[in-house]
Amino acid sequence: MIVAMSVRATEEEIENVLKRLEHDGYAGQMSRGAERAVIGVIGTGFPEDYKDHLEVLPGVESVTRISKPYKLSSRDFKPTDTVIDVRGVRVGGGEFVVMAGPCAVEGREHILETAEAVGDRGAVMLRGGAFKPRTSPYSFQGLGEDGLRYLAEARERCGLPVITEVMEPSEVDLVEGFTDVLQIGTRNMQNFPLLRRVGQARKPVMLKRGMSATIEEWLMASEYILAEGNQDVMLCERGIRTFETMLRNTLDLSCVPMARRLTHLPIIVDPSHGTGKWYLVKPMALAAAAVGADGIIVEVHPDPDNAWSDGPQALTPDNFGDMMKALESVVEATGRRLWKVPATV
């Protein structure tokens, strides 16, 4: 249910509605638009006449039931695009952001070198896994806390905010202490305790689409994070499972304009995991920009042939530079610009 406050509603009237909801056992989440405040009412089993009770409260303009199963992520609740500030890099504000780095942090020198290479070529955020969700328990699992430390050192050196994955609710505190964006991987898109926990974090979250999840399930997963109070959620399409075997996944770019219609959350595309092949990353990155994604996240490695994970899909720094040059004109053709210089780092 959505309570739209009148443009003339006072702070006291808004507060009064929130108090009333709390009293009745519902949680109210407020979103302030340019003109008016809108309150999303979270709960189930509203009494038949509850809408009428809210509608007569002072300062209330209208009350509508949201028929969609996702509420806080929907444009019905918040028509305007969400813009997330990550240490001065604005995600979702009309500029196009490029996050780049290795699949996994392999060592201190490795991440420092890669951070410099991607930063010099136009990346504005550094990616790198310290806790890796590997298909096999015998594969490299990441450097853990050491990896987080190296990432933080790379940030201090290069000024690039960091995005890294968190896999366990019990590790959110630790990871949050080092990173600027918490990444939820495809395998954890429906790990509800983890989603709830990052919903309580004070850092933005990037929610990757489950490899077999529908767009609606993806939005429902974002709802778990939003409902806990964390409004800074970005979505990431990273490819889904289809009958195709030649590609690691099928990058579903049509989900970008579809999700854009349905949700106000920023949408990032991962053409690396989406294809599994380095030579497909550039064309799919350009396509992601063309369909209106807010940015991309790509894997770059100084020596892909010897990478500890996902080497076949990693760009060399030179290939990354080549992609960045081509990206600029596509982004501009869509009436936006590549985000270049972080305002504050």
All residues at 6 or more sequence positions from 217 whose CB lies less than 8 Å from its CB, including other chains: 189, 190, 210
Smaller CB separation from ligand PEP, 199 or 210:
210
Least Å distance, CB 186 to ligand PEP, is: 4
Q: What is the DSSP letter of 276?
A: S
**Residues 54, 103, 160, 289: which binds Mn ion (CB under 5 A)?**
103
Smallest separation, CB 313 to Mn ion (Å): 7
What is the spatial distance between Cα 48 and Cα 55, in angstroms, rounded to a whole number?
Answer: 13
Residues touching ligand PEP, count (CB under 6 A): 10
Cα-to-chain-centroid distance, residue 239: 15
Contact letters for ligand PEP, residues 264-293 (x by CB under 6 A)? ------x--x--------------------
238 touches which of ligand PEP, Mn ion, none (CB within 5 to 8 A by kind)? Answer: ligand PEP
- Beta carbon of residue 52, minimum distance to ligand PEP (angstroms, whole number): 46
Q: How far is the CB of 258 from ligand PEP (least distance, A)?
A: 19
Contact between 102 and ligand PEP (CB under 6 A)? Answer: no
Contact indicator for 319, 298 with CB cutoff of 8 Å? no
> Per rule CB under 5 A, is residue 294 in the interface with Mn ion?
no
Residue with the shortest CB distance to ligand PEP: 185
Interface residue with ligand PEP among 59, 129, 199, 304 (CB under 6 A) is 129
| CA dist., res. 1 & res. 318, Å (int) | 51
Q: Which stretch binds Mn ion (CB under 5 A): 41-49, 102-110, 118-126, 191-199?
A: 102-110
Backbone dihedral region for residue 295 (phi beyond 0: left; psi -120 to 50: alpha; all else: beta): left
Residue 20's CB: how many other CB atoms inside 10 A? 15
Q: How far is CA 93 from CA 37, 55, 257, 313, in A?
A: 20, 33, 16, 29
DSSP per-residue codes, 86-105: ETTEEESSSEEEEEEE-SB-
Minimum CB separation of residue 236 from ligand PEP in Å reads 7
Of 29, 124, 310, 320, which lies in the binding site for Mn ion, with binding defined by CB under 5 A? 310
Q: Which residue is nearest to Mn ion (CB)?
A: 103
Residues 183-222, mask of contacts with ligand PEP (x by CB under 6 A): --xx---------------------x--------------
Structure tokens at 11: 């702070």
Does 238 help bind ligand PEP (rule: CB under 6 A)? yes
CA–CA dist 77, 227 (Å, integer): 13
Give the range of 10-18, 86-94, 103-111, 170-178 binding Mn ion by CB under 5 A: 103-111
Close Cβ partners of 240 (under 8 Å, ≥ 6 residues apart):
209, 211, 212, 213, 249, 250, 252
d(CA 166, CA 312): 24
Q: How many residues make contact with Mn ion (CB under 5 A)?
A: 2
Going by C-alpha positions, the residue among 231, 239, 180, 247 that lies closest to residue 208 is 239
Minimum Å distance from CB 158 to ligand PEP? 19
Q: Supply the minimum distance, in Å, between the C-beta of residue 250 and Mn ion.
A: 17
Site string for ligand PEP, 26-55 (x = CB under 6 A): ------------------------------
Give the SS3 label for residue 158. Answer: helix
185 contacts which partner out of ligand PEP, Mn ion, none, CB within 5 to 8 A by kind?
ligand PEP
Cβ neighbours of 48 (radius 10 Å): 6
For residues 114 and 102, the answer to whether their CB atoms sit within 8 Å is yes
Given the rule CB under 5 A, which residues bind Mn ion?
103, 310
Residues that bind ligand PEP (CB under 6 A): 103, 129, 133, 165, 185-186, 208, 238, 270, 273
